[in-house]
Structure 1
Amino acid sequence: MRKYNINSIFASLFIMSIFSAGIMFQSCEEYPNEYETTGGVPTVEYIRVSDPDKADSLIVSASLDQTIVLIGENLTSVKELWFNDVKADLNTSFMSSKALFVTIPNQIPQDVTDKIYMKAGSKTVEYDFNVVVPAPALQSMLCEFVAAGDEAVIKGNYLIDDPNVPLQVFFPGNIEGEVVGVSDDYHEVSVIVPEGTGVGPVTVKSIYGSTRSSFYFRDDRNYILDWDNLDAAGGWRSGVIANSDPAGINGNYVRFYGEMPGKAGDLWDEDKFAFNLWNQSNGRADVPFYDGDLSEAAIKFEVNIPEAWSASSLQMIFTPYSVTGSNEYVANDDPTKTYLSKDFPRGLWMPWVSSGSYMTEGWTTVTVPLSEFIYDKDGKASEATLTIEMLGGLTFFVYHGGVDGTDCTVHMCIDNIRIVPL
Structure 2
Amino acid sequence: MNKFKYTKWLLPVFAAAMGVSMVSCDDEPDKFELTDGTPSVHYVRMTSAPDSLVTEAYVDNLICLVGDNLTSIREMYFNDQKAVLNTSYITDHTLLVNIPRGIPEVETNKIYMYNKDGVKTEYDFRVLVPGPSLLSLSFEYAKPGDEVTLHGNYFVDDPNKPLAIMFPGDVPVTEIKSIEQTAVTFVVPEGATEEGEIELTTRYGSGTSKFHYLDTRGTLFNFDEGLQQQGWHAQAVVGDDWSFAGNYLQLGDGDAIMSEDGGWNDSKFSFEYWAGSWDTPQNITSGQGAALYNVADFSKPEKMALKFEMCIPSTNPWAAGAMQVCFQGLTQLSLSNNPITGISDPLPGAQAWAFNGEVGDDFKDREADWTDWGRYLYRPWQNAEKGEYHTDGKWITVTLPISQFRYTAKGTGAGKTPSKREDFASLTMFVVSGGVNGKECQPIIKIDNIRAVINE
Same fold (TM over 0.5): yes
Match of 2:452 in 1: 419
Q: Does 2:322 correspond to 1:313? A: yes
Matching residue's letter, 1:283: Q
Give the 4+ runs in structure 1 shifted more than 6 A: none
Matching residue's letter, 1:143: F
- Percentage of matched positions with identical amino acids: 36
- TM-fit CA distance, 1:315: 1.5
Match of 1:410 in 2: 443
Q: Does 2:392 correspond to 1:381? A: no
Q: Does 2:194 correspond to 1:198? A: yes
Distance 1:287 1:363, change over 3 A: closer
Match of 1:10 in 2: none
Matching residue's letter, 2:318: W
Matching residue's letter, 1:336: D
Distance 1:345 1:125, change over 3 A: closer
Distance 1:376 1:173, change over 3 A: same
Q: In the comparison of the two structures, how many residue pairs are matched?
A: 382
Match of 1:354 in 2: 383
Match of 1:242 in 2: 238
- TM-fit CA distance, 1:225: 0.6
Out of 31, 39, 43, the residue aligned to residue 42 of structure 1 is: 39
Q: Secondary structure at the match of 1:135?
A: coil
Alpha-carbon separation, structure 1, partners of 2:118 and 2:423 = 67
Alpha-carbon separation, structure 2, partners of 1:318 and 1:421 = 16
Gaps of 5+ in 2: 1-32, 278-286, 337-349
Distance 1:337 1:357, change over 3 A: farther
Matching residue's letter, 2:406: I
The one-character-per-residue Cα deviations of 1:169-206 (angstroms, maximum 9, x if unpaired) are 111122211242234x4211122222143111111101
The one-character-per-residue Cα deviations of 1:329-360 (angstroms, maximum 9, x if unpaired) are 33242442669641643221111112312111
Superposed counterparts of 1:112-151, under 5 Å:
112-120=107-115, 121-151=117-147
Match of 2:57 in 1: 62
Match of 2:19 in 1: none
Alpha-carbon separation, structure 2, partners of 1:332 and 1:145 = 38
Structure 1 vs Structure 2 CA RMSD: 2.2
Distance 1:72 1:249, change over 3 A: same
Distance 1:41 1:309, change over 3 A: same
Conserved 8 A contact 1:298-1:420: yes
Conserved 8 A contact 2:57-2:127: yes
Alpha-carbon separation, structure 1, partners of 2:326 and 2:51 = 52
The one-character-per-residue Cα deviations of 1:27-56 (angstroms, maximum 9, x if unpaired) are xxxxxxxxx9826431111112122xx222
Match of 2:397 in 1: 365
Select between 122-131 and 137-146 the one with higher mean Cα deviation: 122-131
Structure number with bigger Rg = 1
Distance 1:38 1:376, change over 3 A: closer
Distance 1:378 1:67, change over 3 A: same
Conserved 8 A contact 2:273-2:428: yes
Gaps of 5+ in 1: 1-35
The one-character-per-residue Cα deviations of 1:214-270 (angstroms, maximum 9, x if unpaired) are 11111110111110113424433232101225x21211100012433433253x322
Match of 1:18 in 2: none
Conserved 8 A contact 1:179-1:189: no
- TM-fit CA distance, 1:417: 0.5
- TM-fit CA distance, 1:122: 4.3
Match of 1:31 in 2: none
TM-score (norm 1): 0.84
- TM-fit CA distance, 1:110: 2.0
Out of 87, 92, 95, the residue aligned to residue 97 of structure 1 is: 92
Conserved 8 A contact 1:50-1:69: yes
Alpha-carbon separation, structure 2, partners of 1:93 and 1:371 = 34
Out of 426, 440, 446, the residue aligned to residue 393 of structure 1 is: 426
Q: Secondary structure at the match of 2:53?
A: coil
Q: Does 2:326 correspond to 1:331? A: no
Out of 300, 304, 308, the residue aligned to residue 301 of structure 1 is: 308
